[in-house]
């Protein structure tokens, strides 16, 4: 997003300790977020120091992009009542922040959100946070049960070359640090060994090994047409009627679901009206309701909307919405798996 396509990447091998010292040094100027171990899980939260970091984490429940850049709720306008009504923009105070240790799926998810909020119309709230956030990616070292990023080109190693600042690859004692923006090279003054052919070779061996350990794989070639021909496939109704609770967990944990609702709230003394937005879900019955009808009255059509929007709709932004993080599968109370639905249609298309 920062138009850095001309930036020439530089790459170093840095002892992990040096990298963590670099993070700690940033603390004076930046708010720093990263993966932290909490009981049996990892969550993205503010670090008090790099010692909090849990860099070997598996997928978190919530993605950092939808916690620190696109906020789940956000005040947008304030109206004051009185003799005349006044309108005030709520521009959030946004300090500089760093998110460290973002898995490729979640980094690609931020690049996807950019397509919505920095597209034809620019969302000033998203843009302000996005510009003030340094993104440090972390290539994966393991594959979780529901990961299928390799099937949609979103992992396990980051392929994108711009739109973020740095990406790390775990080299046991060291990190291979790739600098991807000019602001990254400005702040990253750590001296290290310049990466050469050996390092690149080792990196691709690591990726190839990882690629072999994916349990969930789906071939999405031609899936757009297949879905459009099979909108009446029985799998939609069967899965929806027998298993879907319309609980919206899938949407809430999805790192790329961008839909929001706008709500006006009057203060108790009637002097102020707050207009805020909050994440909305296509699984909600009222989501597609208009006067005189509801375009997705049936649960099956709402489930279908989620699945098709994620795996297909390449026409929308020229990229699949899903980044293969598998969260919607992990957090579905009835373990509905969008890749299973797609495979069922691939196996037995009705048209």
Nearest residue to 48 (alpha-carbon basis) of 23, 66, 65: 23
Rg (CA), the chain: 22
Nearest distance in Å: CB 316, another protein: 4
Nearer to another protein, 51 or 85 (CB): 85
State the sign of the Cα–Cα–Cα–Cα dihedral 211, 215, 216, 219. positive
Question: 131: which residues sit within 8 A by CB, 6+ positions away?
Answer: 2
H or E stretch at 171: strand 166-171
H or E stretch at 179: strand 174-179
Nearer to another protein, 203 or 321 (CB): 321
Nearest distance in Å: CB 80, another protein: 9
Nearer to another protein, 130 or 203 (CB): 130
Nearest distance in Å: CB 157, another protein: 28
d(CA 351, CA 348): 9
Nearest distance in Å: CB 341, another protein: 14
Nearest distance in Å: CB 216, another protein: 25
Q: Report whether 21 contacts 179 (CB < 8 A).
A: no
Nearest distance in Å: CB 280, another protein: 7
Nearer to another protein, 44 or 306 (CB): 306
d(CA 74, CA 71): 6
Nearer to another protein, 68 or 236 (CB): 236
d(CA 105, CA 142): 13
Nearest residue to 341 (alpha-carbon basis) of 296, 306, 297, 295: 306
- Interacting residues with another protein (CB under 8 A): 76-77, 79, 85, 87, 89, 116-117, 119-124, 127, 228, 231, 258-264, 266, 273, 275, 277, 280, 282, 287-293, 295-296, 301, 304-305, 308-309, 313-316
Nearer to another protein, 121 or 198 (CB): 121
Say what angle helices 104-117 and 124-131 make with each other, to 10 degrees. 140
Nearest distance in Å: CB 319, another protein: 11
Nearer to another protein, 6 or 270 (CB): 270
């Amino acid at each position: 997003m920062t138009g850095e396509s001309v930036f020439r990447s530089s790459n170093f091998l840095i002892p992990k300790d040096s990298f963590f010292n670099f993070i700690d040094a940033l603390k004076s100027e930046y708010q720093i977020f990263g993966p932290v171990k909490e009981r049996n899980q990892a969550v993205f939260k503010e670090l008090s120091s790099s010692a909090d970091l849990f860099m070997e984490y598996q997928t978190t429940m919530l993605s950092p992009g939808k916690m620190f850049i696109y906020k789940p709720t956000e005040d947008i306008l304030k109206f004051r009542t009185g003799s005349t009504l006044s309108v005030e923009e709520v521009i959030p105070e946004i300090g500089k922040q760093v998110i460290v240790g973002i898995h490729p799926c979640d980094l690609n998810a931020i690049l996807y959100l950019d397509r919505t909020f920095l597209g034809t119309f620019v969302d000033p709230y998203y843009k302000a946070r996005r510009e003030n956030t340094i993104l440090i990616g972390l290539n994966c070292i393991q594959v979780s049960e529901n990961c299928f990023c390799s099937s949609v080109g979103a992992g396990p190693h980051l392929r994108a070359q711009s739109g973020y600042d740095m990406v790390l690859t775990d080299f046991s004692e060291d990190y291979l640090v790739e600098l991807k923006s000019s602001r990254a090279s400005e702040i990253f003054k750590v001296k290290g060994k310049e990466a050469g052919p050996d390092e690149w070779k080792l990196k691709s061996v690591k990726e190839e090994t990882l690629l072999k350990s994916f349990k969930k794989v789906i071939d999405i070639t031609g899936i757009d047409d297949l879905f459009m021909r099979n909108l009446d496939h029985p799998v939609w109704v069967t899965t929806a009627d027998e298993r879907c609770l319309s609980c919206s967990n899938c949407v809430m944990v999805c790192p790329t679901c961008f839909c929001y609702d706008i709500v006006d709230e009057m203060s108790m003394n009637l002097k102020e009206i707050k207009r805020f937005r909050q994440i909305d879900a296509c699984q909600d019955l009222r989501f597609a309701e208009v006067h005189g009808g509801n375009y997705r009255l049936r649960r099956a059509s709402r489930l279908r909307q989620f699945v098709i929007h994620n795996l297909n709709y390449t026409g929308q932004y020229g990229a699949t919405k899903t980044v293969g993080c598998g969260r919607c599968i992990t957090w579905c109370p009835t373990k509905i798996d969008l890749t299973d639905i797609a495979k069922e249609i691939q196996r037995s298309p009705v048209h």
